[in-house]
Structure 1
Amino acid sequence: MSERPPQRTPNRQLAALIAEAGFSNAGLARRVDQLGLEHGLDLRYDKTSVTRWLRGQQPRGTTPALIAEVFTRRLGRRLSAQDLGLDACAPVYAGLEFAGTPEEAVDIVSGLWRKDSGSHAELRKIAFTPAGLVVPSRDWLIGRADDRVGRGDPAPVNSVVNGANSGSRIPVQGVQGRAPAPTVPRQRTTDRGPGQRVVAGDIAALRSVGELFRSLDHAYGGGHARQALVRYLEHEAEPMLRGVYGEATGRRLFAAIADLTRLAGWTSYDIAAHGLAQRYFVQALRLAQAAGDRAYGSYVLVTMSRQAVYLGHGREAVQLARVAQQGVGGSAPPVVQALLHSVEARGHGVLAEVRACTASLVRAERAMEAARPGDEVPYWARFFDEAQLADEFGHCHRDLQQFRMAAQYAERSLQMRSPVFARSRLFCRVVLASARLGLGELDQACALGAEAAQQAGEMRSARAVEYVRDFERRLEPYRDAAAVRGYRDRVAAFG
């Protein structure tokens, strides 16, 4: 006689929450499907699926996390899969949490580094989710600076008492009146551990590494050294965060690692790993809060807004730019104000909101005019000069189909822009090509487009390739023209 299959236990936790939320079975299934779409998942649940869950069947994959998120949004409190009587799985919003404490932030971001530096290819396939922008930006805006970030003994590193680091240096009496032998600094161990003291040189090294990877990104694309950056964060930055440091050093440490984490997100964005990039940006925002650097937090939001623009989420881009503006208020230097307003303009441009876009551009231009050579500009905003402002104008006018203005600003930007910013020059060249095409200047458009296509082939940048593809889509109505055929022949010859 065969054994009966084990009976499933009805899921009373899920039933209670369905009643509390006021969902019907069909309504819950519909919301899970809709949330799945936000994550690039084509789910086909219905009321029968929910009935099975209530009878004790366990949904597979990330579905438990999606169901938990549906209830979280509805009931206004964070719920996990376990709270619903479902099996635990990797949360669909993992990495998008805005941590409550610096310690929690370190745990989240270090977990992200470890997964990304390993063979977790699926991490780079996670979809971007606009809904994942709301909570982090809100929590950053209304949140207060962390009271304490220091870890361990805050004593100075150069203090020597009985060979240990504690207190101030004590003079040593010389033997028989002779002067004491000079103290030789103890060499720091090369292997990092939880007890390793973080010193100023460590933070200077982090900053230097940031400049190195930033220059590689500008010149060759985010895919060139992204993986090396992530491994550096895992093997060097994480041990520092778990080391020993006082308050002032801790703030500087969090600031430096926030910058590297934002750069990891930026390079991920450049290779089209958009969900991963989004998670790095959120964690960089939280690290900036731990650093007490409100202005840098606004720059992270600017970066998030740029990604939203690129992906066509204009409304979210505008909201992020405005949160950044509110976060720094009127205290930011004029160059930073110009940056913030220009990024808002880009969001309005994607939405084809002509008046709002123009108003933001005017504010950006006025702020730039107010800048003076002696202004203290943070290092992360020094790239924003007249060439970059003209680039923003060119993009906006292209998006608004104001092609003559787009061409004027794009040409101006290219004339002023340093060759160091090779990828930005490529983007601007494509904007100029699109503007020339919009003006009916097909030969010039194709010549510019071919130059950009050649450059894109020399970079490891999905964005560069996508800019060229966008131009080629615009060429489709003219595909039989001699200039377009010539363009295709030139591009094919590049290999």
Structure 2
Amino acid sequence: MIEEAGFSHAGLARRVDQLGLEHGLDLRYDKTSVTRWLRGQQPRGATPALIAEVFTRRLGRRLTAQDLGLDACAPVYAGLEFAETPQEAVDIVASMWRKDNGPQSELRRIAFTPAGLVVPSRDWLIGRTDERVARDGSTLARPDTATGPPSGSATSAAITGAPAPGAPGASPGSPLRGPAPGVPGAPTARSTAGTTGTAPTIGRVPIQSRRPPVAVEPPYTDPARESRPTLRVGRGDIAAIRAVGDLFRALDHAYGGGHARQALVRYLESEAEPMLRGRYGEQIGRALFGAVADLTRLAGWTSFDIAAHGLAQRYFVQALRLSQAAGDRALGGYVLVTMSQQAVHLGHGREAVQLARVAQQGVGTAVPPVVQSLMHAAEARGHGLLGDVRSCTTALVRAERALAAARTGDELPSWARYFDEAQLSDEFAHCYRDLQQWRTAAQHAEKSLRLRSPAYARSRIFCRLVLATARLGMGDLDEACTMATDALRAAGEMRSARSLEYVRDFHRRLTPYRGSPVARAFEETARQAGVI
């Protein structure tokens, strides 16, 4: 594998150290460390997953720690897999729903991983819609009875009589290298002449379709689920899922993501999963995957709003994969826009721009003007964060032109109906705030607040704090603090960590004015509210 990737021992160690820094880890590996790994020493902690990501980036295909012969000790990339089949995608996301439903879910503490954005967005862009998603009698066999246990597993060894990896009599090997060639138990390959010979083992990677998802429960492990009668999914079920999505979207806008997020995840586990594992034809199946993809994206969005950023990222990736099974490129593009918005919030401007551009490239012009507009606006936000005035302005102009081309009565997916003139003005205000063009930012924020419905209470809080920041930049300290205080009180009524982060951002910008009575009054109000 090292030879295939073209790494020296020192080069591999250096790249693992660099990737570790992206995750706040000071690893300090060197060429001696790599030599130890090749001799069989297992790296600890998150390192196996980091090594796998280094090889993934170099070779351009997703590799796991298990593929390299390493123990996956930490779920750094768990949930970020872009599944190869629709049913593998169901297994991954259903496992996430179940784990997320616990009161002390570890998933909510997983860190956001910028490196985990690359492979899913690329696979979505170049991938094709799955040929088949229908589930009838011929597709409901359990994987372990239909195809047998995975080769190389302990179960396989018991059946075939071959020793399992690591068992007495198993062939010697080491991480990154595989079993030693020419010894009993080493894998063999068919030669071009049709004879059997010893296969080269350095650089061999298990067939991707056989790899298990990282840190995800195997499918069909719950006896209670197996005992349920198989559901026949119909159009009424799809309509119900979409209605649930509209309900939770409205709750999120009005009260924050923390208000009903857990109920949404429970619905996905208790209602959506049995449908995905039920019986349906091709047309109903596509619609089902699309409806569940939309709800899974919303589960990610509400997780994002409570600052569970790693969990949100993983829900977004799985929603992206489900949208591909649905054959819904527009929805997939919107998921990427959502990922771009999260990247902006976390300060990753470059990644935000890339995600928005992948979305645009993936959908082309085959989407309504409103959808095109929101994609250009997402790109503009990334440029604004990077301070790129020219690129930001260009993207905003494209967004404005696209929205102007929309017509009353255009058929829109439910997830795009929020994007109107008020929302576009809000995007303008955020961009110009980031570019420190305060007067222009204030004008667009004021316009957005005039047009914005009270139903979008959280968005109004964001915009009021953007306006307060713009007023502060213009030198109007009293007005800025008055606006921010009003927004602070409204944020206290929301279950939204992002709302409080906007308040804290304004508080940080008050640093040069801390001696002012009005600034001290705002700080005291924020402290009493527990925001700072």
TM-score with structure 2 setting the length: 0.80
In structure 1, the partner of 2:14 is 30
State whether residues 153 and 246 of structure 1, in contact with CA within 8 Å, keep that contact through their aligned partners in structure 2: no
| Among 479, 493, 504, the residue aligned to 1:469 | 504
Comparing both chains, which one has the higher relative contact order based on Cα–Cα distances under 8 Å and sequence gaps of 6 or more? Answer: 2
Tell me what 1:131 maps to. Answer: 115
Q: Is the 8 A contact 1:151 1:246 kept in 2?
A: yes
**What is the match of residue 269 of structure 1?**
304
**Rg larger for:** 1
2:82–2:321: 8 Å Cα contact kept in structure 1?
yes
Supply the AA of the counterpart residue of 1:393. Answer: F
Q: CA deviation at 1:347?
A: 0.8
Asked whether the 8 Å contact 1:258–1:284 carries over to 2, the reply is: yes
Most deviating of 204-213 and 441-450: 204-213
Q: Which residue does 1:359 correspond to in 2?
A: 394
Alignment partner of 2:291 out of 248, 256, 271: 256
The corresponding residue for 1:54 is 38
Given the alignment, which residue of 54, 71, 85 partners 2:69? 85
What are the residue-to-residue correspondences of 1:169-248 with 2, within 5 Å? 193=228, 195-248=230-283
Instruction: Give 1:194 shift.
Output: 5.8
Structure 1: how far apart are the matches of 2:6 and 2:333?
A: 38
Correspondences of 1:416-455 after superposition (within 5 Å): 416-455=451-490
Instruction: Note the C-alpha offset of 1:378.
Output: 2.0
Match in the other structure for 1:339: 374
Given that residues 397 and 406 in structure 1 are in contact (C-alpha distance below 8 angstroms), is that contact kept between their aligned partners in structure 2?
A: yes
Q: Once the 2 structures are TM-superposed, how far is the Cα of residue 358 of structure 1 from its aligned partner? A: 0.8
Matching of residue 479 in structure 1 with residue 514 in structure 2: yes
The answer to whether residue 409 in structure 2 is matched with residue 409 in structure 1 is: no
1:247-396 equivalences under 5 Å are 247-396=282-431
Unaligned runs of 5+ in 1: 1-16, 155-189
Structure 2 letter corresponding to 1:84 = L
Deviation at 1:136, TM superposition (A): 1.3
Corresponding position of 2:190: none
The answer (yes or no) to whether the contact 1:113–1:231 under 8 Å persists in 2 is yes
Between the aligned partners of 2:521 and 2:481, the Cα distance in structure 1 is 8
1:18 positional shift: 3.4
Equivalents in 2 of 1:296, 1:85: separation in Å? 37
CA displacement at 1:76 relative to structure 2? 3.5
| Alpha-carbon distance in 2 for matches of 1:326, 1:87 | 37
Alignment match of 1:143 (pick from 122, 127, 145): 127
Q: CA deviation at 1:435?
A: 0.1
Would the alpha carbon gap of residues 324 and 85 (structure 1) be closer, same or farther in structure 2, given more than 3 Å must change?
closer
- 1:80–1:362: structure 2 CA closer, same or farther, 3 Å change rule? closer
**Deviation string for 1:147-181 (max 9, x for gaps)?**
11110159xxxxxxxxxxxxxxxxxxxxxxxxxxx
Shift in Å, 1:38? 2.6
Q: Does the CA-based 8 Å contact 2:233-2:278 persist in structure 1? A: yes
Alpha-carbon contact 1:97-1:136 (below 8 Å) kept:
yes
How many angstroms apart in 2 are the aligned matches of 1:388 and 1:192?
47
Q: Secondary structure at the match of 2:302?
A: helix
Code of the residue aligned with 2:395 in structure 1: it is S
CA displacement at 1:44 relative to structure 2? 3.4
Q: Tell me, what secondary structure is at the counterpart of 2:510?
A: helix
Amino acid at match of 2:106: E
Whole-Å separation in 1 of the counterparts to 2:360 and 2:73: 37
Which is worse superposed, 428-437 or 87-96? 87-96
Contact 1:194 1:244 in 2 (8 A): no
Identical aligned pairs, as a percentage? 76
Q: Letter of the aligned partner of 1:138 in structure 2?
A: R
Paired residues of 2:246 and 2:414 also in contact (CA < 8 A): no
The worse-fitting range, judged by mean Cα deviation, of 124-133 and 356-365 is 124-133
Counterpart in the other structure of 2:87? 103
Return the alpha-carbon distance in structure 2 between the equivalents of residues 279 and 259 of structure 1: 14
> Is contact 1:40–1:127 with CA below 8 Å preserved after alignment?
no
Cα deviations by residue, 1:107-162 (Å, 9 ceiling, x for unpaired) = 111111122122563322222222211221121112111111110159xxxxxxxx
Aligned-partner SS, 1:406: helix
Whether the 8 Å CA contact 2:62–2:119 is kept in 1: the answer is no
Say whether the 8 Å CA contact 1:403–1:438 is kept in structure 2. yes
In structure 2, do the counterparts of structure 1 residues 494 and 130 end up closer, same or farther at CA, with 3 Å as the change threshold?
Answer: closer
Q: Deviation digits for residues 181-212 of structure 1, max 9, x if unmatched?
A: xxxxxxxxx99936111122222221122122
Cα distance in 1 between the residues matched to 2:307 and 2:278: 34
* 1:491 corresponding residue in structure 2: 526
Instruction: Report the 3-state secondary structure (helix = DSSP H, G, I; strand = E; otherwise coil) of the residue aligned with 1:330.
Output: coil
Q: Does the Cα contact within 8 Å between 1:153 and 1:245 map onto a contact in 2?
A: no
Sort the Cα spacing of 1:343 and 1:22 in 2 relative to 1 into closer, same or farther, 3 A: closer
* Aligned equivalents of 1:79, 1:143: Cα separation in 2: 18
Contact 1:151–1:244, Cα closer than 8 Å, also in 2: yes
- The whole-number CA distance in structure 1 between the counterparts of 2:245 and 2:403 is 26
59, 62, 81: which is aligned to 1:75?
59
Task: State how far apart, in whole Å, the 1-side matches of 2:129 and 2:61 are.
Answer: 23
Task: Give the Cα separation in 2 of the matches to 1:76 and 1:382.
Answer: 37
- 1:218/1:421 contact within 8 Å kept: yes
Deviation at 1:19, TM superposition (A): 4.2
CA contact (8 A) 2:255 2:494 kept: yes
Return the alpha-carbon distance in structure 2 between the equivalents of residues 204 and 294 of structure 1: 20
Deviation at 1:249, TM superposition (A): 1.0
More divergent stretch after superposition (272-281 vs 425-434): 272-281
User: Cα deviations across residues 353-372 of structure 1 (Å, max 9, x unaligned)?
Assistant: 10111111111111222221
Q: 1:352·1:400 contact (CA, 8 Å) conserved in 2?
A: yes
- 1:128–1:275 CA contact under 8 A, matched in 2: yes
| Partner SS state of residue 325, structure 1 | helix
How many residues get paired? 444
Q: CA deviation at 1:88?
A: 4.1
8 A contact 1:194–1:242 mirrored in 2: no
* RMSD between aligned residues: 2.0
Deviation at 1:53, TM superposition (A): 2.5
Structure 2 portions without partners, runs of 5+? 139-224
